[in-house]
């Protein structure tokens, strides 16, 4: 069975698969095409409408048979909300997704980071890739309830009219259990931020789900359809700095006691390209409809980074509203205040199918050899702290293992893969030997999407296979690799030796 982390994905077998989330939760699903929008209300599967072609909800289990989905369906987004209306997910036990195959065999488990104030959690998406189907773990919080989520995907959910509004004909769907938002008000989901790698995620802001990136499942090992042509886009807006974005951001950072950031033309250029790509398809996401991630757009400008963050949001009309949204929402605020960032870039684009305005903000710190050494040492220190807590001897840094680990992280970006097995078939012990290592036993942990040494080591320790490598008594040496870029933004390698 595979243990998934946000952004992790795995291919699905043919036939019906089941997604189960036990506990005091309501499970729901939205069936969409490449545009990220439902075709009609019948594409919303929830407690009041438990079935659609190819998808059926029964209690805490959603069964999906991709071959029987309606024509044109390419994605099923699975969400969970509290069974008790108005309850924040942070007050409940952490939801855990269990995926089983047609034969009842357990395929994967996903325990996302514990939500806080959010009332909906986008858990996973089942999506078509070529002729097959895959599941991707998401873990994206959403703060406006099931009604706001449904609206963002294009479901017609009835609102209670205000005194000044004429009565609205009731939707053919039952009203959700959560209180409906007022007519004309936009939902307030939580944005995808760099504090944690980011389907869609306030004063009217929507923020993006990670269609294809974010932190992917780190696999341990030890030795022994093109989108529909969009409507024309509106011309790009002027530079956001003309609207005072930098002044607003640095004022907020000063109030938090952190150093200012400066605008970088490369970040602005990458942000503009990604905002335009999202507006083209009318879909928020770390990966645009062209298949290019926001991180790939950034590295294509020549900006190499040691850490990166992003906000992908729709709804705000001005940079002031955008910054206000970030400051009112926990994870976006954490990214805006993060002292690790030295550069920023903001851009927006509108048009496409919906006419909405799509925003991309990028935050980064440029790569330096000193920062790389410090990052690697932090991973070593945190790893040795875990070993010491368990009565094991600390690992010694081996420069040869570090060279092999660094080369593997860079190779995963350069050749667009994520695996212990390189495209040429080489394994961790092969790469260690090629770098000049003569160690008899080799182990490897990899991960992608995590934004800090603390986050990646925590993820490894929460996964049994990676934990076993970190706490293996026989290992005596370690090397760390880190590279920024690719579809997930960050790629980490731990190489152990004895």
| pLDDT tens sequence across 238-280 | 444 546 889 999 999 999 999 999 999 999 999 999 999 988 8
- Residues contacting residue 236 through CB under 8 Å, at least 6 positions apart: 272, 276, 347, 349
Q: If DSSP codes are grouped into helix, strand and coil, which group holds residue 355?
A: coil
Please write the tens of the pLDDT for every residue from 71-116: 889 999 998 888 876 677 777 888 889 999 988 888 988 888 777 6
Q: Is the dihedral of CA 60, 70, 189, 136 positive or negative?
A: positive
Output the pLDDT for position 179. 31
Output the pLDDT for position 148. 63
Helix spans in 282-418 (H): 294-300, 319-328, 330-336, 369-389, 399-414
CB 30 within 8 A of CB 57: no
Query: In angstroms, rounded to a whole number, what is the distance separating the alpha carbons of residues 299 and 372?
Result: 17
Q: Distance from first CA to last CA of the chain, Å, rounded?
A: 28
For the chain, the farthest-separated pair of C-alpha atoms sits apart, in whole angstroms, at: 78
Q: If DSSP codes are grouped into helix, strand and coil, which group holds residue 356?
A: coil
Please write the tens of the pLDDT for every residue from 412-453: 999 988 889 899 889 999 999 999 999 999 999 999 888 899
Integer angstrom CA distances of residue 376 from 41, 92, 221, 446, 457: 50, 36, 20, 14, 11
Please write the tens of the pLDDT for every residue from 313-322: 888 888 899 8
Output the pLDDT for position 221. 46
Output the pLDDT for position 151. 67
| Residue that wins the pLDDT comparison between 487 and 374 | 374
Output the pLDDT for position 162. 39
What residues pair up with 193 in beta bridges, in sequence order?
Answer: 196
Enter the pTM of the model. Answer: 0.57
Please write the tens of the pLDDT for every residue from 155-165: 654 443 333 33
Output the pLDDT for position 353. 62
pLDDT band for position 129 (cuts 50, 70, 90):
confident
Please write the tens of the pLDDT for every residue from 216-225: 434 454 433 3
Q: Pseudo-torsion of CA 312, 317, 319, 323, nearest 10°?
A: -60
pLDDT band for position 354 (cuts 50, 70, 90):
low
Query: In angstroms, rounded to a whole number, what is the distance separating the alpha carbons of residues 337 and 258?
Result: 7
Instruction: Assess whether pLDDT exceeds 90 at residue 343.
Output: yes
Output the pLDDT for position 185. 29
Output the pLDDT for position 234. 41
CB 356 within 8 A of CB 186: no
Output the pLDDT for position 91. 78
Which one, of 351, 308, 336, lies nearest residue 491 by Cα?
308
Query: In angstroms, rounded to a whole number, what is the distance separating the alpha carbons of residues 347 and 103?
Result: 48
Mean pLDDT across the chain: 79
Chain-centroid distance, C-alpha 414: 21
pLDDT band for position 207 (cuts 50, 70, 90):
low
Give the total residue count for the chain.
498
| Residue that wins the pLDDT comparison between 235 and 40 | 40
Output the pLDDT for position 153. 73
Query: In angstroms, rounded to a whole number, what is the distance separating the alpha carbons of residues 401 and 380?
Result: 13
Instruction: Please give the share of the chain, as a percent, with pLDDT higher than 70.
Output: 78
- Residues contacting residue 356 through CB under 8 Å, at least 6 positions apart: 206, 279, 282, 314, 315, 350
Least reliable range by pLDDT among 19-23, 175-179, 487-491: 175-179
């Amino acid at each position: 069975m595979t243990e998934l982390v946000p952004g992790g994905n795995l291919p699905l077998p043919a036939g019906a698969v089941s997604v189960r989330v036990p506990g005091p939760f309501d499970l729901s699903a939205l069936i969409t095409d490449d545009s990220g929008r439902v075709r009609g209300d019948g594409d919303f599967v929830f407690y009041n409408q438990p079935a659609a072609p190819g998808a059926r909800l029964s209690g805490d289990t959603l069964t999906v048979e991709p071959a029987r989905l309606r024509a044109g369906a390419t994605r099923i987004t699975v969400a969970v909300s509290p069974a008790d209306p108005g309850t924040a997910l942070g007050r409940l036990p952490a939801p855990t997704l269990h995926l089983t195959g047609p034969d009842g065999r357990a395929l994967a488990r996903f325990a996302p980071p514990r939500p806080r104030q959010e009332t909906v959690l986008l858990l996973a998406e089942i999506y078509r890739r070529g002729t097959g189907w895959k599941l991707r773990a998401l873990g994206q919080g959403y703060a406006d309830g099931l009604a706001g989520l449904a609206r963002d995907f294009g479901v017609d959910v009835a609102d209670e009219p205000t005194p000044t509004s004429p009565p609205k004909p009731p939707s053919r769907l039952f009203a959700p259990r959560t209180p409906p938002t007022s007519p004309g008000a936009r939902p307030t989901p939580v944005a995808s931020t760099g504090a944690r790698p980011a389907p869609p995620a306030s004063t009217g802001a929507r923020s993006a789900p990670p269609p294809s990136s974010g932190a992917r499942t780190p696999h341990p090992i030890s030795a022994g359809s093109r989108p529909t042509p969009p409507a024309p886009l509106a011309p790009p807006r002027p530079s956001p700095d003309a609207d005072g974005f930098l002044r607003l951001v640095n004022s907020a950072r000063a109030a938090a006691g952190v150093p200012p950031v400066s605008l970088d033309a490369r970040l602005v250029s990458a942000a503009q390209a990604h905002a335009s790509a999202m507006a083209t398809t009318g879909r928020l996401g770390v990966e645009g409809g062209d298949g290019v991630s926001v991180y790939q757009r950034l590295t294509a400008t020549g900006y190499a980074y040691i850490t990166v963050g992003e906000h992908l949001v729709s709804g705000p009309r001005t940079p002031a509203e955008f910054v206000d949204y970030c400051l009112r929402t926990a994870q976006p605020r954490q990214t805006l205040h993060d002292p690790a960032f030295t550069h920023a870039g903001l851009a927006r684009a509108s048009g496409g199918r919906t006419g909405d305005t799509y925003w991309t903000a990028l935050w980064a710190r440029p790569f330096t050899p000193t920062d790389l050494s410090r990052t690697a040492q932090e991973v070593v220190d945190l790893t040795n702290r875990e070993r010491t807590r368990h009565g094991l001897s600390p690992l010694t840094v081996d420069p040869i293992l570090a060279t092999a680990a660094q080369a593997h992280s860079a190779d995963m970006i350069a050749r667009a893969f994520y695996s212990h097995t390189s495209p040429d078939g080489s394994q961790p012990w092969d790469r260690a030997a090629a770098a000049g290592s003569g160690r008899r036993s080799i182990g490897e942990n990899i991960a992608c999407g995590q934004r800090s040494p603390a986050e990646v080591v925590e993820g490894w320790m929460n996964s049994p296979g990676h934990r076993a490598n970190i706490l293996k008594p026989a290992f005596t040496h370690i090397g760390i690799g880190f590279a920024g870029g690719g579809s997930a933004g960050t790629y980490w390698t731990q190489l152990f030796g004895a």
